[in-house]
Amino acid sequence: MPNRWTSLSRHLDIDRIMAASISPSADLSAALVHAPPTAAAWLVILPVAWCLAIGALLVMLRRPNGLHPTIAILGLAGLALIDGLLLKAVVENGPLTMVMGRWLPPFGIAFTADLTGALFAFTAALVALVAGVFSLTDINDSGRRYGFYPLLMLLMAGVSGAFLTGDIFNLYVWFEVLLISSFGLLVLGSEPEQIDGTVKYGFLNLVGTTLFLIATGYLYAVFGTLNMADIARKADVLRNSAPLVTLAGLFMLAFAMKAAAFPVNFWLSASYHTPRVVVSALFGGLLTKVGVYALVRVMVMLFPVEREELSFFLAVAGALTMIVGVLGALAQTDLRRILGYLIVSGIGVMLAGIAVGGPGGVGGAIFYALHSMLVMTGLYVASGIAMRLGASASIATLAGLYRRHAGFAALTLMLCFAVSGLPPFSGFWPKVMLVKAALDIGAWWLVAVFLLAGFLTTIVTGRLFLLAFWRDGTQAAGGAVSLSPTLLGPLAVLTGLTLLIGLYPEPLLAIIQRAAAGLAEPSAYVNSVFPEGGPR
Amino acid sequence: MEAWFALLVGIFFSVAVYLMLSKFIIRMLLGVAVLGNAVNLLIFTGGRLTRDVPPVIPEGADALAAPAANALPQALILTAIVISFSFFAFLLVLSWRAYSDLATDNTDEMRVAEPVDEPVPPLGY
């Protein structure tokens, strides 16, 4: 049917379009990046690519799987190294950007590492490395067969991607990547408790990420862009004509659900005590903090004016989260359920910090999140060791751990102090920053809640230590368990880091203050994505 | 056109929320499936609904003519469909496993991880 073809061809003007796309005179400089990416720019994308590659390698070596732990731990050490180099590069040269497929932003998906993202990514890699070493004694052959290590690497790909991406839809995709890997890790073992916990975790988290997707859809309809730097610079123009407060509120709800803030925190306490101990440790350290990071990124950098308007709700939610979390911890007897509620209480501190705002509030929230990543992982590891030594997970039956293993008891006591915010550990300084920032804006009631929650946390951890460690124990020990270096080493490293940050906080504090300043005034971030101004 | 779709999206959301508020897991699953489609329709509508102008950038211009439909939301939906489908598949298997292992599809009775009648934590030393 030649006639129809010519008419169609004329209608769509195919000849002209094809000629335009082939002809060498077509100007692509408006759409493509020409300069080849620098070596430092590759560091931005390398954490994700590295984790995916190692994960794929592990899947290929599924059987026999004897090499899995070695490869995974080397891979996590490599990830920590890459993230360390990235952090060093960002500290020295400011934010780094790499765009996918050389498309100019905002058309190409951009990965942008600023100080906040690089700090979170580096701490996450450290925590994962330590948890990987602990997994040597916690994951047996059946755990390896079910694919613990590939899922761990995929989880780290999702976490690193979420911290480093500069595109909000891409952030959603990384959320889903880490969510689906966390499902796999959570059911690993298929005990009835795990299935029960995963049902609640799965449904509620899916609703949370769907809320995030709804907000992202509206955001694109309003802004016409998904690039965070582009959104940050366009928000000022659109503020008068678009319902940005509603949009920010939707994002706030979605990320609060991911972060397990009251009243959308119940999935956490239903599931975090059910999987293998190392999985609890990883989740306690990483997952809720991704929600907090996303909240910081969106509320502080993209919608600062809207954060101001919503700050009262955020502050009330944070205060309630602190109190409800710590009261929940007081009501529990199971070690890991206590810790799950303590995570929730810590999330409240970070939310309140974001609500207070300013360099002190946001910096305090970031500092507290980094501290919480280290300390909560450490406490879960300690609970795993205590469960193995005492053959019980309940503080009603655990006893006499101090008499049998004084060194382990000392490390746990330090972590208990750290999570309660007592000096000289890492929890003290962010609390000081937050209390000062809240006093500066006159939010005395929030200060009272900070201090009350800290006091109640001290009671929770004090009771835990009193009953499980100091009480005279006559119960049968769980066999002759020797504390091998792979068991005690991870705990010692995390406690050491907490103590180091507590005693010598200045270097980290300086970086965090710069990170908070970079979020409040994101011109360096925007310049890194649009070096020549870019299309408006 | 957009107004009708907005109405449809609203109906989808209300059906999804109603189903997900059920305590029976199979209804929650149906709710999740409808919710995913509600969001996809929402994003689809957000990218303008029109067939009048082909989404081809005319020569000499940098952007689409104003009334053309935006193609990017449709690409976003493709991603979202794949993701929500895989999540639905996982939750379906998980629900079946929960039903066969816990012998109930009522989430009120799924109290293995958080037992109802727990002993009070030790009050004395």
Q: Give B-chain residues touching A217 at CB under 8 angstroms.
A: 39, 42-43, 46, 73, 76
Question: If you measure CA to CA, which chain A residue comes closest to B45?
Answer: A221
Structural tokens at position A34 = 């020409």
Reported ipTM exceeds the 0.90 cut: yes
Mean pLDDT rounded to a whole number for chain A: 89
Residue among A10, A14, A100, A199 with most chain B CBs within 10 A, to mutate: A199
Residues of chain B with pLDDT under 50: none
B46-70 tens-digit pLDDT: 888 887 777 787 787 777 777 788 8
Tell me how many residue pairs between chain A and chain B have CB atoms under 8 A apart.
Answer: 115
B35, part of any domain = yes
Residue A383 has pLDDT above 60, yes or no: yes
Q: Give A-chain residues touching B24 at CB under 8 angstroms.
A: none
Question: If you measure CA to CA, which chain A residue comes closest to B27?
Answer: A203
**pTM for this entry:** 0.92
The number of domains in chain B is 1
B90, part of any domain = yes
A155-195 tens-digit pLDDT: 999 999 999 999 999 999 999 999 999 999 999 988 999 99
Do residues A259 and A295 touch, judged by C-beta distance below 8 A? yes
Q: Give A-chain residues touching B111 at CB under 8 angstroms.
A: 196
* Residue for token pair 């149906």: B30
Q: Which domain holds residue B100?
A: 2-54+68-109
Query: Could you tell me the maximum CA-CA distance found in chain B, to the nearest angstrom?
Result: 82
Dihedral over alpha carbons A418, A375, A80, A273 (to 10 degrees):
180
Do residues B50 and B67 touch, judged by C-beta distance below 8 A? yes
CA dist A25 and A23 (Å) reads 5
B112, A192: Cβ pair inside 8 Å?
A: yes
Q: Give A-chain residues touching B70 at CB under 8 angstroms.
A: 224
B29, part of any domain = yes
B60, part of any domain = no
A221, B54: Cβ pair inside 8 Å?
A: no
B62, A197: Cβ pair inside 8 Å?
A: no
Chain A nearest-CA distance from B89, in A, is 11
Task: Give the nearest partner residue to A196 out of B83, B87, B112, using CB atoms.
Answer: B112
CATH number at residue B31: 1.10.287
Question: Who's near B77: CB < 8 A, 6+ residues apart?
Answer: B40, B43, B44
**Model pLDDT, residue A73:** 96
Q: Give B-chain residues touching A216 at CB under 8 angstroms.
A: 76
Task: Show me where the domains of chain A are located.
Answer: 36-474+482-526
Residue A475 has pLDDT above 70, yes or no: no
Q: Quick check: bond before A106 cis, omega within 30?
A: yes
Q: Quick check: bond before A263 cis, omega within 30?
A: yes
CA dist A51 and A45 (Å) reads 11
Question: If you measure CA to CA, which chain B residue comes closest to A535?
Answer: B62
Residue A20 has pLDDT above 70, yes or no: no
Q: Nearest Cα to A336, choosing from B44, B102, B113?
A: B113
**Model pLDDT, residue A11:** 43
Q: Give A-chain residues touching B46 at CB under 8 angstroms.
A: 217-218, 220-221
B122, part of any domain = no
Q: Nearest Cα to A139, choosing from A237, A22, A281?
A: A281
Section A255-283 average pLDDT? 93
CA dist A131 and A119 (Å) reads 18
Chain B nearest-CA distance from A196, in A, is 6
B97, A190: Cβ pair inside 8 Å?
A: yes
B82, part of any domain = yes
